[in-house]
Amino acid sequence: MDIQPVILSGGSGTRLWPLSREGHPKQFLALTGEHSMLQATWLRVAPLVDGGAPIVVSNEAHRFMVAEQLLEVGCTPSSLILEPVGRNTAPAIAVAALQAQADGRDPLLLVLPSDHVIGDEAGFREAVSEAATAAGDGALVTFGIVPTAPETGYGYIRAEAGQGVRAVQAFVEKPDSATAESYVASGDYYWNSGMFLFRASRYIEELERHHPDMLDACRQALASGSRDADFLRLDRKAFEACPSDSIDYAVMEKTDAARVLPINVGWNDVGSWSALWDVAEHDGGGNAHRGDVLAIDCTNSYAWTERRLVAMIGLEDVVVVDTDDALLVARKDQVQKVKDVVGSLKGSQRAEAVLHRKVYRPWGAYDSIDMAERFQVKRITVKPGATLSLQMHHHRAEHWIVVSGTAKVTRGEECFILSENQSTFIPLGVKHRLENPGKVPLELIEVQSGSYLGEDDIVRFEDIYGRSS
């Protein structure tokens, strides 16, 4: 059974703001255990492929996070495909299917979003094995989730009566409450999980039949793409010309080969704070807390704090999420409106819509710990062996103070080493570079001063990560 996992990691996860943001969305967060959701997605299917590796489709901005997080759990993707723009799931799966056939194989593609929770992982793997027979015979199989409630936030699949893999009668949109109740009562409807199993060639055949212009654009984007270190970059012009559509609309609702396997494996797409409360462990009052939380006379609450103590008194059905730069307080039945908060922040061009105070980079991270009109203080961490770009700034000077580790500094024509408690000054307009030549993380404090302190005041001359100014 030649199974090729395809992990889709292009989502922005803004419904879990302020913890999940476009710059660091939920698939990279450890929301329900020690591993991030991306890592957990791979680990649950790794036993099916006996040493194989996934194809991952990601957007360009997240490429280093994807590669690093998978490497942390011993996985190097067979292909890490970068989308220059988002075009929904049908094109993403198409380029993965084409790439899977590049070496003459025609595997079964196990298509998985990177940000779902599955409680019964062994049961899920058994379901994949059960579906493989039908997929091997040419069916396009989706996994329908046995509903536990009349959920209005999911699409549904109406299936023929029977056992095991069966024909799909209809895909239906997210229903209102009364309709959802009728779906659950009938026993004929299942939640649409967005997970699929089919042979690569069969998906391409069905896409060619129902959406040939999409397939042509994907072929061109892949053929004209380029290799960049560990990444396969799709051609921007070709992929921008590709129609944007989900696999449901582009293929599954049109094909006569759609099949569904109902499963009951503790699935949750963790699409809201209330959904995260659903899958968390509760205390005797139905509360689920993460971090330093003190709750008195609270019931059915959810609280998450990263640093500070959060104290709650007399609250019921309330979500509290405290991060370094934003605090969310909402009723559990109103958390879907978080997207309105994000929309308002974007409309005001506020950075909190996209970035955390702590920003991850391929070389490490920086945390903006203080800021005023003409200065900014950052705590910078550089991974062992990592190197920042050779760069300069038009509007700011920088002071660097090493807290721990060893820094190799390039300043103009000079190159020198700084150790703990030593410092240096980078004048405005001078080329400079920071490196960590040691075996432990380098931590330093950077004090910026000048008339403009934005991240776009960076002119890069050399960069090992392929970034431009």
Cβ neighbours for 154, distance < 8 A, ≥ 6 positions apart: 145, 174, 191, 192, 269
Residue 18 burial (CB < 10 Å; 0-12/13-18/19+)? buried
Does 396 have pLDDT greater than 70?
Answer: yes
Please answer whether residues 330 and 338 qualify as being in contact, where contact means their C-beta atoms are separated by less than 8 angstroms: yes
Instruction: Look up tokens 């793409």; give the residue.
Output: 225
pLDDT of residue 230: 83
pLDDT over 70 for what percent of the chain? 100
At residue 233, the pLDDT reads: 94
The DSSP bridge partners found for residue 302 are 288, 319
Partners of 414 in the beta sheet? 411
Q: Is the pLDDT of residue 124 over 70?
A: yes
Question: How would you write the chain as a 3-class SS string?
Answer: CCEEEEEEECCCCHHHCCCCECCECHHHCCCCCCCCHHHHHHHHHHHHHCCCCCEEEEEHHHHHHHHHHHHHCCCCCCEEEEECCCCCHHHHHHHHHHHHCCCCCCCEEEEEECCCEECCHHHHHHHHHHHHHHHHCCCEEEEEECCCCCCCCCCEEEECCCCCCEEEEEEECCCCHHHHHHHHHHCCEEEEEEEEEEEHHHHHHHHHHHCHHHHHHHHHHHHCCEEECCEEECCHHHHHCCCCCCHHHHHHCCCCCEEEEEECCCEECCCCHHHHHHHCCCCCCCCEEECCEEEECCECCEEEECCCCEEEECCECEEEEECCCCEEEEEHHHHHHHHHHHHHHHHCCCHHHCCCCEEEECCEEEEEEEECCCEEEEEEEECCCCECCEEECCCEEEEEEEEECCEEEEECCEEEEECCCCEEEECCCCCEEEECCCCCCEEEEEEEEECCCCCCCCEEEECCCCCCC
Which pair of tokens denotes residue 340? Answer: 């309105």
Produce one character per residue of 431-445: b if its CB has 16 or more CB atoms within 10 Å, e if not.
bbbbbbebeeebbbe
Q: What is the pLDDT of residue 152?
A: 87
Q: Looking at residues 399-424, what average pLDDT do you find?
A: 97
436-464 residue pLDDT tens? 999 999 999 999 999 999 888 999 999 98
Q: Which superfamily does 358-462 belong to?
A: Jelly Rolls (2.60.120.10)
State residue 29's pLDDT score: 94
State the fold for domain 3-268: Spore Coat Polysaccharide Biosynthesis Protein SpsA; Chain A (3.90.550)
469 pLDDT band (50/70/90 cuts)?
Answer: low
CA angle, 320 then 321 then 322, to 5°: 120
**The pLDDT of residue 468:** 66
Residue the block writes with tokens 């998978």: 70
Where do we find the tokens 């779902």? 116
pTM here is 0.90
Residues with Cβ within 8 Å of 306's Cβ and at least 6 positions away in sequence, in order, are 291, 322, 323, 324
Task: State pLDDT tens for residues 324-374.
Answer: 999 999 999 999 999 999 999 999 999 999 989 998 899 999 999 998 989
Say if residue 380's pLDDT is above 60: yes
CA 211 to CA 90: how far, in whole Å?
10
Q: Note the pLDDT of residue 313.
A: 98
Q: Find the Cα–Cα–Cα–Cα dihedral 97, 102, 107, 108, rounded to 10°.
A: -10
CA–CA separation, 21 and 325 (whole Å): 12
Q: How confident is the model at residue 14 (pLDDT cuts 50, 70, 90)?
A: confident
High-pLDDT (> 90) share of the chain, %: 87
The yes-or-no verdict on residue 54 having pLDDT over 60 is yes
pLDDT digits (tens, 9 = 90+) for 194-221: 999 999 999 999 999 999 999 999 999 9
Q: Is the pLDDT of residue 1 over 80?
A: no
Question: Does residue 383 carry a pLDDT above 90?
Answer: yes
More confident call, 396 vs 13:
396
Q: What is the mean pLDDT of residues 267-279?
A: 92
Mean residue pLDDT of the chain comes to 94
Kindly state the average pLDDT of the residues 378-407.
Answer: 96
Domain boundaries, the chain: 3-268, 273-339, 358-462
